[in-house]
Amino acid sequence: MYADLVTDCALEHADVDLGAGLPLQLNVPERFAQVVNGVYRSGYPGAGHLDVWKAIGIKTILRFVEEGYASAVKVYLAENGVRSLCVPIVPNKEGSVKSAHQTVDTVMEILMEPKNHPIVVHCNQGKHRTGSMIGCFRTLQGWEHEDIVTEYRHFAGGKARALDEVFIKAYEPSPSVRKTAENLNVASWVIATDALTGNSPSESHALSHDENKA
């Protein structure tokens, strides 16, 4: 069970007023997009992005880096009952240093659990670690590797890493993860129109900025 590997992030309360109404124009995080119904991806979220989560009704947030959130974000998570999970993923910068497939299986189990939806996953920029994990999820969906790489490069832009693509291709889901994917018919989970923007996931990506930021 993935609970053994997941860190439930501590929620610290602060004196922050989150009662303001939703703005007419929602401020989305960098590289924010819908992966499938109920699953979202983005760059690192801040206090200015809380209205997006509220509009979607996010139940779970999963981050792939150990850095914590700003006080306003922690308060939002606590007051809205949002479960905050952390599964640190090693950046694929050196071929000999990478996350174990067991760790990726943990991420896949979290993503596939309907009780966690709507869920948003993120790293720092939403490019590499997030892209790698979504690529592995696409493997579970039965996507061709060429299509997975195309999506990965779309979000990574000029910062795409060959080792991320190698990592995705090498991922072998455990029998239990494959069985879960089959039972839930994950292959049929659709890439829906974005609930907030009306755009496809690739079009939502165009809302991001500073694409070449490190």
> Catalytic residues, which ones?
123
Name, in order, each residue with C-beta under 8 angstroms of 148's C-beta and a sequence gap of 6 or more.
135, 138, 139, 168
In degrees, to the nearest 5, what angle opens at C-alpha 41 toward C-alphas 118 and 84? 55
Name, in order, each residue with C-beta under 8 angstroms of 61's C-beta and a sequence gap of 6 or more.
45, 53, 77, 82, 83, 84, 85, 119, 120, 121, 122
DSSP H or E segment with residue 106? helix 101-112
Q: In angstroms, how far is CA 101 from the centroid of its own chain?
A: 17
Q: Provide, for the chain, the percentages of residues in helix, strand and coil under a 3-state DSSP scheme, each rounded to the nearest 5.
A: 40, 10, 45
In degrees, to the nearest 5, what angle opens at C-alpha 205 toward C-alphas 139 and 102? 30
Sheet strands side by side (includes 33-36): 7-8, 83-86, 60-63, 119-122, 39-42, 33-36
Strand partners, 97: 94
